[in-house]
Amino acid sequence: MLKIYSTALSANGRKVLAVCRQLGLNPEIHEVNVYRGEGRRPEYLAVNPSGKIPALVDGEFMLAESNAILLYLAEAHGGNRLWSSDAKQRGMIAQWLFWESAHWQPTLIAFLSEVVGHRLLPERVPRPRHAPDWSSALVRPVLETLDTALRSAAFLAGSRATIADFSVAGMTTYFKAAAFPFESFPNLSAWYARIEALESWRETLSPVWAA
């Protein structure tokens, strides 16, 4: 039985849940609110010793790291849908998965920490005094990289959505709550709208991030 340990409160958790829906999978979902300490419970640490989410269990096989889980789901349970059997296409998809984990997500986690922290734990994290400055040199380069890449394609690896898009879209979960200036990044915004139009993406939106 395929099991997913996750929460839609998390960008990493949401993208795995959305890919499961996009592929028509029906795994056993275990909600783990790591923000409330549930990741440190012994029963979860037996699944993922890091205490982080998401995690996957497929029979005797256990897997952590959200992008690795996306790859596994697409290949082992998706017949390569959202992935590819073509080496060049796989390379392009993998390029974006690595970029997401090395550049996109680390930059945005640091940049959005106050907004996200307050939404998740309002009793502990004060409301930010100012909205995030999206023109900051800290975040502008990754936004421009993505906007430029989407100038000539509907999705990151071509004309159809792949796990690369779900991976990168994860962090956009927080954009509306953080007053992202969509008008300043037209290609990124058009891509974001295409992702938002996917039923699998809409169905995994937590109310915490709805506005």
What are the chain's domains?
A: 2-77 (3.40.30.10), 87-201 (1.20.1050.10)
- What type of residue is 100? E
pTM equals: 0.97
pLDDT at residue 181 in the model: 97
Q: How far apart are the first and last CA of the chain?
A: 35
pLDDT digits (tens, 9 = 90+) for 158-197: 999 999 999 999 999 999 999 999 999 999 999 999 999 9
**Count of other CB atoms within 10 angstroms of residue 211:** 6
pLDDT at residue 210 in the model: 87
Peptide bond between residue 181 and the one before it cis (omega within 30 degrees of 0)? no
Q: Which residues pair with 63 in a beta bridge?
A: 56
**Count of other CB atoms within 10 angstroms of residue 71:** 21
β-strands 55-58, 28-31 pairing? unpaired
pLDDT at residue 84 in the model: 95
Residues in the chain predicted with pLDDT less than 70, given as ranges, are none
- What type of residue is 175? F
> Contacts by 142-149 with C-beta closer than 8 Å and gap 24+?
142/103, 142/104, 142/107, 142/108, 143/185, 143/188, 144/185, 145/99, 145/103, 146/104, 146/185, 146/188, 146/191, 147/185, 147/186, 147/187, 147/188, 148/187, 149/187
Closest by CA position to 200, among listed 18, 33, 39, 45:
18
pLDDT at residue 98 in the model: 98
Interhelix angle 140-149/186-196, nearest 10 degrees: 70
Would you say how long the chain is, in residues?
211
What is the rounded CA–CA span in Å between residue 54 and residue 124? 24
Degrees to nearest 5, angle at CA 167 with 163 and 172: 135
User: 63, 27 in Cβ contact below 8 A?
Assistant: no
